[in-house]
Structure 1
Amino acid sequence: MTKADLSKQPEQVAHMFDEVSTHYDRTNAVMSVGNSWLWRIVTARTVSPREGERVLDLAAGTGTSSAALAKSGAEVVAADFSRGMIAVGAERNKHVPNLEFTWADATALPFEASSFDAVTISFGLRNIVDPATALAEMYRVLKPGGRLVICEFSTPPNRVVRSFYRFYLDKVTPSLVALASSNPAAYSYLSESIIDWPDQPVLAAWMREAGFNQVAYRNLTAGIVAVHRGVKDPAKPTGLTVPVASARIHTATDAD
């Protein structure tokens, strides 16, 4: 069984997700105590795909969110770094005509500049070895005025909720995962990565540094998860030079 660590070496992370791909959706439903469906709905509504648009769903996994986006009539590209996830997703969603699965490295996307109306990534940005470069790539492939939506585990602003959540991750999650997952060791990494991930204002700052404007976020489930959104600014050139390690500071942001 493979367990990645917080160095987030790409091949190691990909192999870990390959191993959990078959039961990934079931385990997520158990770990989120059923909230994952709500987070998907809010994310899809925030993306607001429309017929005729082209949408990139990064870290798409088995394509659960991608299929929901495709119901709008938009052409959806479901991309993931795990070939195991892609294989499972393509098989499960082979009846969806406007949904395409492809392998992709989020830090070097195999797509032309300005080729998508919207880009979204759910619970995947924190697993990328270089989030700054990934954000720069998302900016590059978006059309001017295109939308970015990020759904990710975050930091509950209430101290009591934050303490309870940490207890849940440390003490409760291992027992649940042992019952639901084919690779419990992998999910210990996921808990570690959630705890290590920066809070909502820091991610908002990273998005602004990448060139996005109209950046805002909405807390879900008391801030356990947050949905960030931004728009590609056509007046700014593509590019991102902010080092992730030095960007972990609190800045003011628009919060819903």
Structure 2
Amino acid sequence: MTSTRAGLDKAPADVAAMFDGVARRYDITNTVLSFGQDRGWRTATRHALGLGPGDVVLDLAAGTAVSTEELAQSGAHCIAADFSLGMLKAGHKRPVPKVAADALTLPFADESFDAATISFGLRNVASVDTALAELYRVLKPAGRLVICEFSTPVFGPFRTVYMEYLMKALPSVATKVSSNPEAYVYLAESIRAWPDQAGLATKIASAGFDSVRWRNLTGGIAALHRAVK
């Protein structure tokens, strides 16, 4: 397979091709590279959304729908949406509805969802502001938004070690377990270029959301941002 990676300009065709290339071993690669933390992050996202039976939930950038399957444990009606057809195909056995969707032009009517979430996907869109505007549009009034994304470790010495891991060890490990190792060079670069916790909170508030707050996961390697329309 030819290795494919996107650049930090996040050209949509390049991003889609990159994720098509990692789809086959995406879930196992994430578990290995996160030392198993990805499972806990998915559970934390479900709890933060406060879902229940009767809620209709959008799981954007759902990939293979492993995150959507986690959300469905709440009894809510959960829809997996992703830009990469390869990722959706890789998760075809997961029993949740799946929709091919571009985060910048969501194929859903205004005020369609009680809640929406995007995990480790907002960082990959060409325009974060446009994606947040689309999430705002498709949420009902008082709808809940939860964003789980890589962030900035809060403890200085750990942050230094983590950044070294990102740029050196992570691509090396990915070579052994991923179906498209070069994509994980992009992963490391995109994490380093991503806003910290307060920076992302400012972007969410600027999109019109209220009650924006965040909680660090694993010392700030990831963060859960919550907000309300």
- Band the TM-score falls in, shorter-chain normalisation: over 0.9
Q: TM-score, normalised by structure 2?
A: 0.97
Q: Deviation at 1:176?
A: 1.0
Q: 1:75 aligns with which of 66, 74, 77?
A: 77
Corresponding residue number in structure 2 for 1:186: 183
Residue 14 of structure 1 aligns to a residue in which SS?
helix
Q: Find the aligned partners of 1:48 and 1:14 in 2 and give their Cα distance.
A: 30
1:131 aligns to 2:138 (yes or no): no
State the match for 1:142 in structure 2: 139
- How much has 1:178 moved relative to structure 2? 1.0
Quote how far apart the aligned CAs of 1:231 are.
Answer: 0.2
Q: Say how many residue pairs are matched.
A: 227
What TM-score do the two structures reach when normalised by structure 1?
Answer: 0.87
Which residue identity lines up with residue 35 of structure 1 in the other structure? Q
Tell me, yes or no, if structure 1 residue 42 matches structure 2 residue 39: no
Where in structure 2 are the equivalents of 1:88-237 lying within 5 Å?
A: 88-89=90-91, 91-93=92-94, 96=95, 99-232=96-229
Determine the structure 1 residue equivalent to 2:55: 53
Q: Report Cα offsets for 1:153-193 as digits up to 9, x if no partner.
A: 00112211110111111121122111110111111001100
Q: Please name the residue that 1:22 is paired with.
A: 24
Cα deviations across residues 91-126 of structure 1 (Å, max 9, x unaligned)?
221xx3xx2101001011010001100000000000
1:59-110 deviation line (CA, Å, top 9, x unaligned) = 0000111011112221111000001111122x221xx3xx210100101101
Distance of 2:191 and 2:145 partners within structure 1: 21
Cα-Cα RMSD? 0.8
Specify the code of the residue in structure 2 equivalent to 1:92: K
Question: AA paired with 2:184?
Answer: Y
Stretches of structure 1 that go unaligned for 5 or more consecutive residues are: 233-256
SS in 2 for 1:120: strand
- Give the Cα separation in 2 of the matches to 1:196 and 1:83: 26
Q: Percent identity?
A: 54
| Greater Cα shift, 145-154 or 173-182 | 173-182
Contact 2:150 2:222 in 1 (8 A): yes
Amino acid at match of 1:21: A
Larger radius of gyration: 1
CA deviations over 1:136-164 (Å, ceiling 9, x no partner) = 00000000000000000001122111101
For 2:76 and 2:36, how far apart are their aligned partners in 1? Answer: 27
